[in-house]
């Protein structure tokens, strides 16, 4: 994927790199592996956002570490389910939203790679908001989310088993429709003890790299576009 290669080109020697989760990020992992193997990047170490990503990275011979060794990441590269004009995001389609947000908050630069179908005028128009919930609190948080107007669906695997995150929690996919105030909704969700994390990433992305039919658009938080 062109956007993934563009994002990987932002990585420099000696960097600690946060590794996102999902099908789009897989392209970035492969591009990063090629540059490491070819000698174009040296002394790079990755911090994976999920057990799945860690397994892929190990198979691709990407050196890995964690936050016991490093207190931040120089750059993280990840995908998103939906992105608005303010570079706010809906993430969590791959089920790793909690660790992805920890990485995002610990990253000096948080780079999102998408194709133009993920770009939206307002969050919630194209994608539900994933909400990671403690199983103990499942009925309480379902009722709370429904009280906010969401259509709530408990995520299941392809085998029709309840999906479990790496933290062994549940995920509700919550269709709110067009979200008029994403920041206020994020604050309401964060205030609930039974909600471990939510998929609204507000003011976290520094860069969004969009693959379009005309080529790459590089959107930055300060308003610059390339």
- Does 64 score more than 80 pLDDT? yes
Predicted confidence (pLDDT) per residue in 3-47, tens digit:
999 999 999 999 999 999 998 999 999 999 999 999 999 999 999
Let me know if 146 is a catalytic residue. Answer: no
Q: Which domains does the chain have, with CATH numbers?
A: 2-121+202-220 (3.40.50.1360), 129-198 (3.30.70.260)
pTM of the model: 0.95
Minimal CA–CA distance to 121: which of 55, 170, 179?
179
d(CA 86, CA 201) in angstroms, rounded, equals 11
Please state at what angle helix 51-59 crosses helix 23-37, rounded to 10 degrees. Answer: 30
CB 211 within 8 A of CB 114: yes
Quote the pLDDT of residue 222: 74
**Mean residue pLDDT across the chain:** 96
CA 186 vs. chain centroid, Å, equals 15
**What single-letter DSSP state applies at residue 192?**
-
What pLDDT score was predicted for residue 221?
A: 87
pLDDT score of 113: 97
102-115 in b/e burial notation, b at 16+ Cβ within 10 A? ebbebbebbbbbbe
> Who has greater pLDDT, 96 or 221?
96
User: In whole angstroms, what is the distance from residue 75 CA to residue 119 CA?
Assistant: 22
Catalytic residue among 30, 51, 82, 100: 100
Per-residue pLDDT, averaged over 159-168, amounts to 97
In tens, the pLDDT along 173-196 reads 999 999 999 999 999 999 999 999
What's the pLDDT band for 225 if we cut at 50, 70, 90? Answer: low
Would you mind telling me the total number of residues written for the chain in this entry? Answer: 226
Structure-token pair, residue 164: 């479990």
């Amino acid at each position: 994927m062109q956007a993934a290669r563009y994002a990987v080109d932002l990585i420099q020697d000696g960097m600690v790199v946060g590794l996102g989760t999902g099908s789009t990020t897989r392209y970035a992992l492969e591009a990063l592996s090629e540059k490491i193997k070819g000698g174009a990047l040296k002394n790079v170490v990755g911090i994976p956002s999920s057990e799945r990503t860690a397994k892929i990275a190990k198979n691709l011979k990407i050196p890995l570490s964690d936050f016991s060794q490093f207190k931040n990441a120089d750059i993280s590269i990840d995908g998103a389910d939906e992105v608005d004009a303010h570079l706010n995001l809906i993430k969590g389609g791959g089920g790793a939203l909690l660790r992805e947000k920890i990485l995002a908050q610990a990253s000096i630069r948080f780079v999102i790679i998408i194709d133009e179908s993920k770009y939206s005028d307002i969050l919630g128009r194209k994608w539900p908001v994933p909400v990671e919930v403690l199983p103990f609190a499942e009925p309480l948080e379902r009722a709370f989310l429904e009280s906010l107007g969401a259509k709530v669906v408990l995520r299941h695997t392809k085998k029709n088993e309840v999906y479990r995150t790496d933290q062994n929690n549940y995920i509700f996919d919550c269709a709110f429709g067009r979200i008029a105030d994403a920041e206020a909704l994020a604050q309401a969700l964060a205030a609930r003890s039974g909600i471990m994390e939510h998929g609204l990433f507000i003011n976290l992305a520094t860069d969004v790299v969009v693959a379009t039919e005309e080529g790459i658009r590089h959107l930055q938080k300060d308003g610059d576009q390339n």
